[in-house]
Amino acid sequence: MTLPTFTEDQAVNQIIRGYFGGYTYGWNLTVSRSLTYSFSAGLSTPERTLIEAALDSWGALAGITFVQTATGGQIAFQNSAAGAYTSMQGTGVNMTSAMVNVSSSWFNSYGGTIGSYSYQTYVHEIGHALGLGHTGNYNGSASFSRDALYANDSWQTSIMSYFSQNENPNTNATFAYLLTPMAFDIAAMRTLYGTPIAVHGGDTTYGAGSTAGDALDFLGTTNHRANVAFTLIDTDGIDTLDVSDRSEAARVDLTPGAVSDLFGQRGNMVLYTGTVIENLRTGAGADRLTGNSVGNQLDGGGGNDTVSGGAGDDTLSGAAGNDQLAGDAGDDLLTGGEGQDIFLFATGFGSDTVSDFVAIVDYIDISALTQIADWTALLALMTDTADGVSIATAEGTILLAGLVTSMLDPTHFLFTAGSGGGSGDAGQTLQGTTGSDTLTGGDGADTIDGREGNDSLSGAAGDDSIIGGTGNDLITLAGGNDVFVDGLDSGADQVWGGSGNDRLISRGGSDRLYGDDGDDVLMAGPASCIVSGGTGNDTMTGGIGADTVSDAGGIDIVDLGAGNDSYTASGDDATMGDSVFGGDGNDRIFASAGNDVLNGGAGRDGIASGDGNDTVLGGADSDAIDLGAGDDLFTDGTDAGADTVLGGLGNDVLTSTGGRDSLDGGAGNDSLTASAAGCALTGGLGNDTLIGGSGIDTMKDAGGNDLITLGAGNDSYTGTGDTATNADTVLGGDGNDAIATGAGADSVDGGAGNDRLTGNEGDDTLLGGAGNDTITAGDGNDSVDGGTGSDRIDLGGGNDQFIDSTAAESDTVMGGNGNEVMTSLGGNDSLDGGAGDDALTASEAGGRLAGGTGNDTLTGGAGADVVTDTSGNDLVTLGAGNDSYTATGDSASNADTISGGAGNDRIAAGSGNDLILAGEGNDWISAGSGNDTLTAGSGADTLAGGLGNDVFVFTSADAADRITDFRAGSDDIDLTAFAGLDSFADLSGHLTQSGRAVVIDFDGFRVTLDNVSLGTLTAGDFLL
């Protein structure tokens, strides 16, 4: 049996009367439009929250205020019994109380949030408590085929129905739980309780940024589920439906009473009768937007959208994508946005403005305006104004803002099928049939419409207009400036433009468009097309499919559009330069010779720019780019994609602004700049400039005089391939950097951070900068300054120079095998000259000096220095401070000169004939083996000559000195500085035996000779 389709009045009658046997039950709200409600003690907080949300959904549309009371509410809620049901009590038809029961197990099983089946259950049961029955005469369970009374009984029309959307075979709506009472429910409440004064009466936003203030706010949450359905009722204000945060294709009709598709569902939004929504914003999908009779603002967002304004003065925006916009009635403003847009005009369209018509991309569809037969007729309607080109038709006026008539030609318009679009000699109008036709025009401006079937259409000479129609067509345009427009079907057409400046437009299937000679405009449709510009300066636009685009020479403009596209240029010379935009998708772009401008757009693109001075923008996502020969410019997108760029021959400028890119300049004098994300920069051959960002960069170079700035971050630089004639400059900046130069004479400043600097070959200048640095100078005559911080430095081979900064930290320096000069100006440094004739100077803070092998010059500072030497004829000056000196490894042929200076010094000389001056302070001196000369200073010195024939020299009266190993007959004591001691006889009166020692005491001068007997001393032991 075929079920009837109920009107709203019939459905309302069933809901409030038919279900109750012809009686109408309800609350008496004539005095106060409010009802009280109460919760049983067993209801949890989540249950109570969901109940109150369900009450709100009824309260607004019915104009009823629900007031909570502790106990005894007119509507009582409980969860103690099984299942879900409502019982009502009253006097006659007037309800006096109702009890709603939804069990705890029901709540726990069907979800506890808005948008769940538990929420829908509460809304349904509250409907009973307000006087609504079911939409059919069923209760507890039902089958649509057995129990439905009318064809449109489902959740799409009423929350009081038992049948979900997909249980009803008469609706194509998808399954969805309900957020609100639906249209029949709203009408039933108004029949029972009258129409409320206002429902969502102000300026309300639904969806993203919702201000509805009830369960509809759920649509604005980021985690809302797609399978929800709802009815919007709004009585006043300037209102907005905003689903711009969604990517699914939407179909939205703002006509009151209309059903729309949102969130990837079908038929899940209903506008209640009389509801007027003024503004609509959709997202990235291929959306269809339809306005109502008032002035709408419709914004399609991204995607290939179809936007129709309806009546009223509308503002339409297609935004990004290949959009179709029709203002319809009223004075409308149309903005296509990025992409290939079509602006459609039909009867009664009003006075419309197209704000951004792009002549080489967009076109105007006036095929519905049958009174405009051809370009000649259209040209007669055009007038240049201060605002643009005005086209005054019998139906309305079109203003193409910012243009003049001379910028337009027939290829920018779609005329009525069967009408001419050419401007040459009088031509033919040929129309095909539903079969496969062969139509050939003459030498005039022909108009050929293939219509249905697999047709073969030829324009011959003249400026022809050809419409492929449906089917797989073969189009040969030959000579003239021709226009081809594909049908909207899926047929695969093959179009040859021939000579002339042709305009070939695909709108449906996977077409093949060949521009051949001339300056052509080729546009791919939504399917995957092959687009070949041929020779000439062509403009080619891809669609949303995976297009294959190519040209054979000329200065071309290419927009590949969405999809995984490819573009290949051939035949260009150095005078030509193409402009290519990849758009969305993973594109492959292969340019030829010439100075090209290439933009990969979004997606993981592969770009080869070929020869010429090219400008390449990687765009979003991770791209692979080969710039080829020429002085090229590369700029990364600002996203996090990791690009790989090879500069090739030429002086290239490569700049990363977003992700962790890998930039290789190749040969030439290149400039490479890293982003803040951290990059890999390779200069290659040539004099390169590498600039790091704030991230962790890895840099290297393969030869040339390079300038390297590492910047912030823990960066690394490695110079390879340099020769001795190269000289790099490396600036480390902040961060713990690792820098290794090549064979040239390089200059390195580690900057702040704990850096590792390696000079390798070449005469390098290395500055550690701030931080605790590790420096290896390598071979070559290097100059090293550790900078501030406690540094570890290995000067390596060569005659190196080390100069410490004035910082107080302590450096450790190893000299290597050259003749090093090491100077400490600040901290308590440790300097080791290694092999070679080195010069080491300690700072005033004190330090450790190790001369190593070779004839070294060691100079202490004002602090307490520890000085050692291995071998060689060394010159040691300890300076101020309590210093120590130890010689190891000297042979008998070595002769050191050691000056203790101020301070209480300890000096231990080695083998060889050493000259030792104690200086000021109470010094301890051990001369070691060899014929040494020990000169006491002004303090109380302790001297040991060691093996050999030593001379102890005393030059002034001072504190008591001591010789611990004087050997009579072998060593000498030099007292020539003292007047009055001219002979041994003069001295004998000043010699006394004191225990096991002999004391010399003369005029304030006193020296003790340990383990010496007075009787063993002779005149030969003294120099007087």
Task: Return the H-helix or E-strand segment holding 128.
Answer: helix 117-129
Pairing of strands 382-385, 388-392: antiparallel
Question: Can you say whether residue 312 is alpha, beta or left, with left for phi > 0 and alpha for psi between -120 and 50 degrees?
Answer: left
Q: With contact defined as beta carbons under 8 Å apart, do 504 and 522 qualify? A: yes
Q: With contact defined as beta carbons under 8 Å apart, do 657 and 635 qualify? A: yes
The whole-angstrom separation of Cα 659 and Cα 599 is 16
**689 pairs with which residues across the strands?**
671, 707
Burial (CB count within 10 angstroms: exposed 0-12, middle 13-18, buried 19+), residue 49? middle
Closest to 154 (Cα-Cα) out of 127, 131, 183, 195:
183
DSSP 15-44: HHTGGGTT---B---SS-SEEEEEE-TT--
Distances (CA, A) of 174 to 148, 170, 217, 268, 269: 19, 12, 22, 7, 11
Q: Determine the residue type at 931.
A: N
- Does the annotation count 167 as an active-site position? no
Which ranges in 130-261 belong to alpha helices (H)? Answer: 144-147, 183-193
Alpha carbon 346 to its chain's center: 45
Distances (CA, A) of 733 to 616, 680, 812: 29, 17, 22
Burial (CB count within 10 angstroms: exposed 0-12, middle 13-18, buried 19+), residue 535? middle
**877 pairs with which residues across the strands?**
859, 899
Alpha carbon 285 to its chain's center: 23
8, 47, 52, 125: which one is catalytic?
A: 125
Q: With contact defined as beta carbons under 8 Å apart, do 762 and 724 qualify? A: yes
Q: With contact defined as beta carbons under 8 Å apart, do 719 and 741 qualify? A: yes
Q: With contact defined as beta carbons under 8 Å apart, do 533 and 552 qualify? A: yes
- Length of the chain measured in residues: 1024
Q: With contact defined as beta carbons under 8 Å apart, do 652 and 632 qualify? A: yes
Question: Can you say whether residue 274 is alpha, beta or left, with left for phi > 0 and alpha for psi between -120 and 50 degrees?
Answer: left
The whole-angstrom separation of Cα 303 and Cα 321 is 5
**299 pairs with which residues across the strands?**
281, 317
Q: In what order do the strands lie in the sheet with 94-102?
A: 65-68, 34-39, 75-78, 94-102, 84-91
DSSP code at position 59: H
Q: With contact defined as beta carbons under 8 Å apart, do 842 and 849 qualify? A: yes
Burial letters for 386-414: b for 16+ Cβ neighbours within 10 Å, e otherwise? Answer: eebbbbebebbbbbbbebeeeebbbbbbb
The whole-angstrom separation of Cα 1001 and Cα 45 is 107
The whole-angstrom separation of Cα 329 and Cα 314 is 9
Q: In what order do the strands lie in the sheet with 413-414?
A: 251-253, 288-290, 306-308, 324-326, 342-344, 363-365, 413-414
The whole-angstrom separation of Cα 609 and Cα 670 is 17
Active site residues: 125
